[in-house]
Amino acid sequence: MSNIESAAGEPVAMSAGIVKRATTLADGRELIYFDDPGTKLTPTRKMDARKLDPRPATAVMRQDILTGEWISIAAARQNRAFLPPADQDPLAPASPTNPSEIPDNYDVAVFENRSPSFGPALANVAELDAQKSLSELSQIGLGRSRTSVGRCEVVCFSPATEGSFGTQTPTRARTVIEAWADRTAALSALPGVQQVFPFENRGEAIGVTLHHPHGQIYAYPFVTPRTTRVLESIATVGPDLFQRILESERGSERVVLSGEHWTAFVPFAARWPIEVHMLPHRHIPDFAATNEAERDELAILYLRLLRGIDKLYDTPTPYIAAWHQAPVNVGHDDVRLMLQVTSPRRAESKLKYLAGSESAMGAFIGDVPPEQSAAFIREGLSRLEVTSA
């Protein structure tokens, strides 16, 4: 094999004409290319020629005895890149002056995080029993710690050095969605993984450390605190909780965008000045369970939603786009895939900070009535339509 060819396995055909090509980086981390349909890229990929230090040891989780929550202490993350110039972007295709994380040009690329919060170690398969593991983790005691097994991946939406999911083309958005579905299935099958979480942080006000258009995927070794509360609500209200939410919101004035398969709305009890949830009309637990029609429509609706939010003001709006998926082993049939986009932007030049009540007590105070927020977001969407006409 020449030094310009990759060690990737055979290309795998995905839906919508997307092609998947897997390889590894110099330190053994997995790197996967997802090629757009009709891509202009060549089938071969350059190998990672860097000499890298060994990967940091897997972090350790410590339990907060007051809440039972697990906190991952991942000290290696202190060394990650912080707002480097474009010519030193670690997510851009590698060049002679920028030996980045991705050795060749790409459409969409997914790779294991070099300094992860969870992993690279996985649970011991011989000793693993998912139900017993969850039961053991839910116990509470002083000084409890466990290895932060799992996986953290970076999802690069584009080789461009600036942008976000909302700046991509519909074709590229569809490729990213295919990558999310593929990685959700793969990560859910890893030993010890209990929940898979794709998300995008956008904007310095959110705390991003790279301007490159990208998101992340966390594969947790536990069911997250928020999802645990959702499971408690399902136990109280009933297994049709999400369908009841969808029907209630679709009959309200808080709907901002709707299609054949998805509806986006400002929730009845929104916490943030800008907060939008999106639910599929069919009860599905995660991206892996979406069908081709749902992925196709989502690529269009999700772009419209994010671009509409960017039309609210003259400058891009910072946000967190969180894709909540069902846990792998508990409540999988009752929790529905849901997008939650939140922004602290409460006016053009004002941000909502989590101060005393929110940070210390977890008791949110909403600054904007949800109905007013929904009307404002619909205005942004209408301006987008005028601009696109």
Alpha-helix residue ranges (DSSP H) falling in the chain: 130-138, 170-188, 225-237, 241-250, 292-310, 361, 370-388
- Structure tokens belonging to residue 53: 């230090």
- Measured between alpha carbons, how far apart are the two ends of the chain, in Å? 51
Report the DSSP beta bridge partners of residue 350.
Answer: 347
CA dihedral 263, 270, 317, 106 (to 10 degrees): -50
Among candidate residues 211, 214, 261, 277, the one labeled active-site is 214
Pair 165, 213: CB distance under 8 Å: yes
SS3 label, residue 243: helix
CA distance 243 to 281: 8
**Residue recorded with tokens 């900070």:** 353
What would the two tokens of residue 310 be?
């960017």
User: In terms of Cα–Cα distance, which of 293, 291, 277 is closest to 339?
Assistant: 277
Give one DSSP letter per residue of 44-57, joined into a string: ---------PPPPP
By CB neighbour count within 10 A (0-12 exposed, 13-18 middle, 19+ buried), where does 24 fall?
middle
| Catalytic residue list contains 214 | yes
**Beta carbons of 70 and 146 less than 8 angstroms apart:** yes
Q: Report the catalytic residues.
A: 214
